[in-house]
Structures are given as structure tokens and as C-alpha cells.
Amino acid sequence: MKLVNKSLERNGPGSVKLVPQIDDDMWDAYNLIAAGDTVEAITVRKIGGRDTERVKMTLEIRVQSVEYDKEASRLRVRGKNMTKNEYVQVGQYHTLELEPKRPFVLRKELWDWPALERIEQSCDETAAGADLAVLLMQEGLAHLFLVGRSVTATRARVEVAIPRKHGCAMAAYDTALRDFFDRVLDAFLMHVDFGLVQCVVIASPGFTNDQFRRYMFHQTGLRGGMRDITENKERIVLASAASGYPHSLNAVLAEKSVMAQIKDTRAAQEVPALQEFFAMMIKDSDRACYGPKHVEVAHERLAIKTLLLTDTWFRSPDVAARRKCVDLAESVKKLGGTVRVFSSLSVSGNQLDQVTGIAAILRFPLPDLDDIEM
């Protein structure tokens, strides 16, 4: 995200002018813009009756709702117009569409800790371009993911029926496997841009990943348009995976060789923290808890070592609920605890959302928490 200018104070009013650059930035903008804020941007509005004319103008609206379109990487910000305009009356509803490369101005009455941290992380140039591509495979099934700073996006799924490898069916097996590799390679060439992606990890059980990589390198001498792969062979590495299904992604990201490649992404902090939480739930369940009520009680007893929560909690339209969540996180920090905010569009964030989206690793056991209703 490009920060054009900033005029604000912590826990006070102010504004920022931002220009989203990549998909991750659109997700950050979605988490920044809240009901009650104002957003100013260039927009187009249809004017007239039968002879409709599209007029470009700059409008500022008081936000009522925000929609995130993951596939189009676009925000739809709906609210009432606040600027006097010959085409749109003050108080009329309008929807602004925000996209990469289009600047907008965001004004808030209160810039709290999550919003300020989001700005800092999103506009940190050292974290830009830290994307990782992960190709999860097994014979006949592949998923291609792009892992960004905040967003893990599924870019392709390839599935081909492959017969068993035995006897006279060997020729059919080879043909089906070649067809599968061809389709995976087509998806790879379409979605992996080495100008953005720092590293590609091909992960699978057994030797499917190595077979595909060798097939891909062989094809560079036969196909056109594969210069990028030839020039970036050293950035395509192998890893083991339990399967080609999406649930295997977290384990791949946790491998040391892969962690070294994603050290500048959120996943580098999210994956180990979530693994520690689930491991604690198994080996010492009295030192881990989840759910807002249990976490709140644990905090009252000064027991929280690490607070884990998804960014969904900071998008609550209920101002009091958001304020309560912000206060909890800030209090945990002041008491020497660690706060990990997970992107709900990452694999780890999705796993955390399955256990209410808020959890904690405790400094000491609290066995009586189980007696408190969630």
C-alpha cells in the first residue's frame, strides 16, 4: 500500500490518503474502512433517464457498509454522499468501487491501535513482494495457492482421473499422468509471476512433486513462453505434504525451509503460534482456552501469555464490541503478553475461526475454566 499523506493522532481523529497496489492491500483497506468513517474517491455515476450518461466525479460518503470481492480484488463501499455536487445531492446513497492503483482518502473520528497497526504493516515497503506460491499435489489432484502478507488465495484446482499403475494399464496411466501434469503446468504459467513471487514450493506425498518439477523443466525446451521458469529454477523448491488437499497447506508452511522463504509474511508468525495453541490443547489443556468468555476470564486472572484472534473481531459493526476487543488486546500487551492478529483469509485464520476466532495460551493452568459456560 502506498501512503500518500497522513494527518492523524492515536486514539483521535484524522485522515490518510492511500493507494492500494496489490490484492493484500485491498484486504487491508477492507479491514481499515468501518461504518461511520468517511471515504473520498473518484467515482462514476449514471446520470439522466433514457439517454444515460456516465459522469466521472469525486465524492465523499459516510460509510454504512463495505463488501470485499475476493475474486475481483475490489471493495464496494456504500453510504450517503456528504459533498455538494450538481449530480448527487447531499444525503443520497452512492457506492464507491475501490480497486488497486486507485487512490482514496479515509477519515476516522478515532484511529485506534488495530487501524494504526494495519496502516503500518500495509505501508511497510520491506514486506512488499513477499509472496510465496505453493503447489500442493498428489497424483490426479493439485491446488495452487498464492500466499501474501495477509491473503492466501486459491488460484487453481486441477483434477484428473488417473488409473492404477499395473500391467497392461501402464500406457493409460502414463497418458493420464502426462495430461494431469500438462494441466497443472498451464495453471502454473497462468498464475505464477516471478516478478511478484519470491519462491515457489511444490509439495506432495511421495515423489509426485519431483516428477512434476522434472517434467516442467523438460517442457522448457519444448514449449514457448517458459523463459521465466528457466531463469528462476533455483526459486522452485520441493517440500513434503500429507496430500494435495488445502488442509495440508499449514503443515507445508510450517517447514523450516519454507518458513525461511516467508519470514516477511504474516504466515511466519501465524503458523507457529497456532501450532503452539493446538499442541497445548493436547498436552496441557488447562493452559489453553478459546471463546470470548473463557479468554475474558483468563485475562481477568492475568493468565494470558499469547492472545490469538482473527481480524474479524475488529470488523464488528458494533462500536462497543470492537472497543472491548481493542481494550483486551492492548491490556494483554501492557501486561507483557503477545498478541497475534490472524488474517481470516489465511489458512491459519480460517482454522482459528473454527474455534470461535479468539483463543489464548496461558502462563499457568486454569482447570476451572471448563466449568464456565462459553
Per-residue confidence (pLDDT) for residue 51, from 0 to 100? 64
Whole-angstrom Cα distance, residue 279 to residue 359?
13
Question: What pTM, to 2 d.p., does this model score?
Answer: 0.74
Q: How far apart are the first and last CA of the chain?
A: 39
Closest CA to 250 of 144, 351, 158, 154: 351
Closest CA to 347 of 266, 281, 277: 266
Q: Are 349 and 310 in contact (CB under 8 A)?
A: yes
Per-residue confidence (pLDDT) for residue 374, from 0 to 100? 64
Whole-angstrom Cα distance, residue 352 to residue 349?
5
Per-residue pLDDT 10s for the chain (374 aa) are 999 999 999 999 999 999 999 888 999 999 999 999 999 999 998 877 666 788 999 999 999 999 999 888 899 999 999 988 888 999 999 999 999 999 999 999 999 989 998 998 888 765 555 578 999 999 999 999 988 777 788 899 999 999 887 655 788 899 999 999 999 999 999 999 998 888 899 999 999 999 999 999 999 888 878 899 999 999 999 999 999 999 999 889 888 888 877 776 667 778 889 999 999 999 999 999 999 999 999 999 999 999 999 998 888 777 788 889 999 999 999 999 999 999 888 888 889 999 999 999 999 999 998 888 76
Per-residue confidence (pLDDT) for residue 127, from 0 to 100? 55
Closest CA to 104 of 12, 21, 9: 21
Per-residue confidence (pLDDT) for residue 125, from 0 to 100? 66
| 3-class state of residue 47 by DSSP | strand
DSSP string, 128-164: TT-EEEEEEEETTEEEEEEE-SS-EEEEEEEE-----
Helix (H) or strand (E) holding 2: strand 2-8
Per-residue confidence (pLDDT) for residue 318, from 0 to 100? 76
Give the three cell numbers for residue 32.
481499515
